[in-house]
């Protein structure tokens, strides 16, 4: 029987079978950077997005060519703090029938207020002290309109709507560093998420970079030794951006390519799931080693 052809993912019908992804290399057009001091910003205040924004803020404070302040655009959730919970308990304990009357405005504090006042993301990075010059900003325009580098830290499924919100406010010369791990399968082709970002924003592919690795956000945030790979199409951008994401405990490898790091970043999770299954079955270290070798070989096949 005939097999049904895979439908394009929502928002990706533009990617036709004849489209070609630009080959990496320094022959791609170089978009001039803005004047110094350069500004960095981030979009997405989840655990990994906030962690990378924190690393960048630590670096901008030390690098003379960069503005200290880093703005992080977040969805401004209402969070119940310890003070809020104490107030609720007090009201409840004073009620004779179990019902309470909420104070005007209710309970809860905006996450942006907590981050900017207490310098802690209590929702996604509890216990991690954030730099005072890392500012949470709910408004997209205020967060990114003057940024020379923007880190996109939202999950893969939110990339398209997030790009739509960013597009009116980005500098044409801005470089973007993508953190999302994922691969789109459109019209029988594997599509790296950097290409989705480039299309949605109308940016040259050369301006979209990626930061990929096997990291647990909170471990990086607490300064445990980790490493990741920064992929850019232009060597100059690699030399420019590596210092703002690298820390003594967070080492950065660089590669003049974005497809390879993204494929590895996504496909490693398949191997990791297999490793967990083998562990659960109580199989030997030899079996785990075989899985890792075969898995890496198959990953190489996707990339090459």
Question: Would you kindly state where each structural domain of the chain is located, as residue ranges?
Answer: 40-256, 259-303
Burial class (CB in 10 A: 0-12, 13-18, 19+), 17: exposed
Q: What is the pLDDT of residue 24?
A: 46
Q: Which residues, given as ranges, of the chain have pLDDT below 70?
A: 1-31, 85-107
Q: How many CB atoms lie within 10 A of CB 279?
A: 11
Reading phi first (left if > 0) and then psi (alpha if -120 to 50, else beta), residue 137 is in beta
Residues annotated in the binding site, as ranges?
44-49, 75, 158, 217
Residue with the two structure tokens 């030390």 = 62
User: Catalytic pick from 110, 268, 275, 297?
Assistant: 268
DSSP letters, 57-113, are HHHHTT-TTEEEEEEEE----EE--HHHHHHHHHHHHT-SSS---PPTT-S-EEHHH
Dump pLDDT digits (tens) for 236-293: 999 999 999 999 999 999 999 999 899 888 888 889 999 999 999 999 999 999 999 9
268 is annotated as an active-site residue: yes
Q: Measure the CA–CA gap between 142 and 77, rounded to whole angstroms.
A: 18
Class of domain 40-256: alpha beta
Residues annotated in the binding site for NAD(+), as ranges?
44-49, 75, 158, 217
């Amino acid at each position: 029987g005939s097999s049904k052809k895979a439908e394009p993912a929502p928002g990706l019908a533009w990617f036709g079978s004849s489209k070609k992804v630009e080959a990496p290399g320094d022959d791609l057009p170089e978009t001039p950077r803005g004047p110094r001091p350069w500004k960095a910003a981030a979009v997405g205040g989840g655990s990994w997005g906030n962690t990378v924004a924190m690393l960048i803020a630590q670096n901008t404070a030390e690098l003379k060519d960069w503005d200290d302040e880093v703005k992080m655009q977040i969805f401004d959730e209402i969070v119940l703090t310890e003070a809020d919970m104490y107030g609720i308990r007090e009201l409840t304990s004073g009620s004779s029938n179990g019902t309470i009357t909420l104070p005007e405005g209710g309970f809860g504090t905006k996450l942006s207020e907590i981050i900017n006042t207490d310098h802690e993301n209590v929702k996604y990075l509890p216990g991690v002290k954030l730099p005072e010059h890392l500012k949470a900003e709910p408004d997209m325009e205020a967060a990114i309109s003057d940024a020379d580098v923007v880190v996109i830290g939202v999950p893969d499924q939110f990339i398209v709507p997030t790009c739509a919100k960013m597009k009116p406010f980005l500098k044409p010369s801005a470089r973007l560093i993508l953190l999302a791990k994922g691969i789109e399968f459109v019209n029988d082709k594997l599509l790296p998420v950097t290409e989705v970002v480039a299309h949605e924003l109308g940016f040259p592919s050369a301006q979209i970079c990626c930061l990929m690795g096997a990291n647990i956000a909170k471990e990086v945030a607490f300064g445990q030794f980790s490493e990741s790979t920064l992929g850019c199409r232009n060597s100059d951008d690699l030399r420019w951006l590596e210092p703002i994401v690298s820390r003594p405990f967070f080492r950065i490898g660089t590669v003049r390519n974005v497809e390879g790091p993204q494929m590895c970043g996504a496909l490693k999770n398949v191997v990791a799931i297999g490793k967990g299954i083998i562990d659960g079955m109580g199989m030997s270290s030899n079996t785990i080693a075989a899985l890792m070798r075969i898995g890496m070989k198959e990953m190489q096949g996707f990339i090459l």
